[in-house]
Amino acid sequence: MAEIIMEKQCVKESGSVQSIHRALSILERLSASDEGLTLKEVAAQVSLPPSSAHRILTTLQRQRFVRFDQATMCWSIGVQAFLVGNAFSRSRDMVALSIPFMRRLMLASGETVNFFMLDGSEVVCMAQVQSQQMVRAISRPGGGAEMHRSAAGKMILAHMSDEEVAAIITRKGMARYTDHTITTQEALIQELARIRERGFSVDNEEFFTGLRCIAAPIYDETGSVYAAVSIAGPTSRITEARTQAMGELVEICARSITSEFGGSPTASKSRPGHSLHYPTARLS
């Protein structure tokens, strides 16, 4: 009798875990949609019958994790999901701490500044200070990017072991986006070695033709790379001739954030003699 009760309990717990997994999958799909999704679209994206998807959505709606727009018949992320997600930013204040330095970098470089953190096998934009230029690069905070084709991603990869890099490549692949995208592991390893030597990384039109990005590492208190700060702008402004000077500006910003947060680069990565203050004039 006891065995039967335990078996029923295990089945019940297994069903509860499955329901949680389905609910989280729905929240992930809704968070990726700016316009919201119809019930049919939600069900298709999470591979559930519409009746099952609707039951989960109404449960989430009662807790304000999702909301339903009767005018468009679409479901979207609710206010409670924002409140829960915002708790992550409160748990570590590095993003908020970085904003003043990012603003200074935006003014010094004239370009959009992004703050990226590692999330599994990709980097996610956690914060952004937009350029004041009419033509500027914009990445939606919360959006992810494959590591092999982004400056921030390559910077973080450059501080991983070869085994960790290989594991990420195996999981995510190396899709080609432009003629400049690195698509082989051998070429990527060579690029990562150059990044370690140079101190900053460059996305040289590897995701979008006409867009160039430059990133530098932010270290935590153990000397590990915790995040990366980057600038992004059109190649007409971030020219190859200006890459070195712009890279040095990004490095200054990254070291300033590292210092303010109490982080410390390893001795082999540190570069003594650089000021943590920006030039008073913008690069021309």
Sketch the domain layout of the chain as residue ranges: 2-83, 92-261
Q: Look at residue 94 and tell me whether its pLDDT is greater than 80.
A: no
8 A C-beta contact, residue 36 and residue 26: no
Scan for tokens 């033709």, then name that residue.
209
Regarding predicted confidence, which is higher, 95 or 225? Answer: 225
Regarding predicted confidence, which is higher, 186 or 283? Answer: 186
Helix, strand, coil tally for the chain in percent (to 5): 50, 20, 35
Looking at residue 135, what is its pLDDT?
59
Looking at residue 6, what is its pLDDT?
43
Pick the CATH number of 92-261 from 2.60.120.620, 3.40.50.720, 3.30.450.40, 1.20.1050.10: 3.30.450.40
The share of the chain scoring above pLDDT 90, in percent, equals 62
Looking at residue 136, what is its pLDDT?
56
Looking at residue 84, what is its pLDDT?
81
Confidence of residue 2 (pLDDT cuts 50, 70, 90): very low
Looking at residue 10, what is its pLDDT?
47
Question: Which amino acid, residue 281?
Answer: A
DSSP-derived 3-state class of residue 258 = helix
8 A C-beta contact, residue 102 and residue 253: yes
Confidence of residue 256 (pLDDT cuts 50, 70, 90): very high
- The architecture in CATH of the region 2-83 reads Orthogonal Bundle (1.10)
